[in-house]
A and B are shown apart, each in its own frame.
Chain A
Amino acid sequence: MRLWAQLVDEGDRFIYDGFLQRLGSPEAARRACLDWLERRNAESTAAKVRMLTGRTPAAD
């Protein structure tokens, strides 16, 4: 599990570095990362509901 956690963290740092390159400031890059996580969470939550119910979620 430690390896998995490292993998996730490395992936996050890769995303962060991409934002940092584009946005120029660590604060803006971190904010962009958190926004990305929020969007990703909305998508993955819908997929998880669908995988258990077989239905597209009607509400979130």
Chain B
Amino acid sequence: MIGGLALSAWNHARYTRDADVLVAIMPEQIAELVAAVVNAGFQPRHEPPLRMIDGQGILQFTFQPADALMPFQFDVLLATTPFQQEALARAVPRRLPNSDGHVAVVRPDDLVVIKLLAGRIIDRAMILRENRSDIDFERLQRVILAQGLMDDYCAIWADAYPGEPGPVA
């Protein structure tokens, strides 16, 4: 799980309308995945279901519960880059608020990188601040440097840990 629901699994609940997951599957498994999601009652948003946008594969579904006013959205993003695949391999089971079961959720340091890549202002410093003991800072910094995100990282560090010395490149 990634996106806004993943944040709520890491101590930062906020409103989100979509459920987003990142999956690593072979191209020949996509039809099987789509069939399983459709069998569970979801409708593909597009035909064919797989869209490629700027090299990123995405499958989008909607789900209309009988008692809900509008359909819900469920997006399946296909992991292709080494960073995405590593983030998946490092995902850990977490319990979402108000839920009994556990789901595999991308780790907070990978969520920070994802937020920095997206250029999203919201959430970034909060993820750092609220998950300090769960973050592998050495690895995070390596990834940040590799992705060329050091300036942004220093900025959110200052927001997350005001008054503390910044990360050293």
Contact of A50 among B15, B65, B118, B147 (CB under 8 A): B118
Do the beta carbons of A11 and B118 come within 8 Å of each other?
no
B29-37, B72-80, B129-137, B157-165 - the one binding chain A: B72-80
Do the beta carbons of B18 and A49 come within 8 Å of each other?
no
Looking at chain B, what size class is its interface with the partner chain? 35 or more
Mostly helix, strand, loop or mixed at chain A's interface? Answer: helix
Alpha-carbon separation in the docked complex, A12 to B73 (Å): 13
Do the beta carbons of B54 and A48 come within 8 Å of each other?
no
Do the beta carbons of A40 and B17 come within 8 Å of each other?
yes
Do the beta carbons of A37 and B53 come within 8 Å of each other?
no
Alpha-carbon separation in the docked complex, A4 to B99 (Å): 9
Which of chain B's residues have a CB closer than 8 A to the CB of A8? 17, 68, 72
Q: Show 30 A/B contacts (Cβ-Cβ < 8 Å), sorted by A.
A: A1-B99, A4-B96, A4-B98, A8-B17, A8-B72, A9-B65, A9-B68, A9-B70, A11-B15, A11-B17, A37-B70, A40-B17, A41-B73, A44-B18, A45-B53, A48-B20, A48-B75, A49-B53, A50-B117, A50-B119, A51-B114, A51-B118, A52-B56, A52-B77, A52-B117, A53-B117, A54-B147, A55-B54, A56-B54, A57-B53
Q: 5 tightest A-B contacts by CB?
A: A51-B118, A3-B98, A54-B117, A57-B54, A12-B70
Which residues of A pack against B, CB within 8 Å? 1-5, 7-9, 11-13, 16, 33-34, 37, 40-41, 44-60
Which residues of B pack against A, CB within 8 Å? 2-3, 5, 8, 15, 17-18, 20, 22, 45, 53-56, 58, 60, 65, 67-73, 75, 77, 81, 84, 96-99, 114-115, 117-120, 147
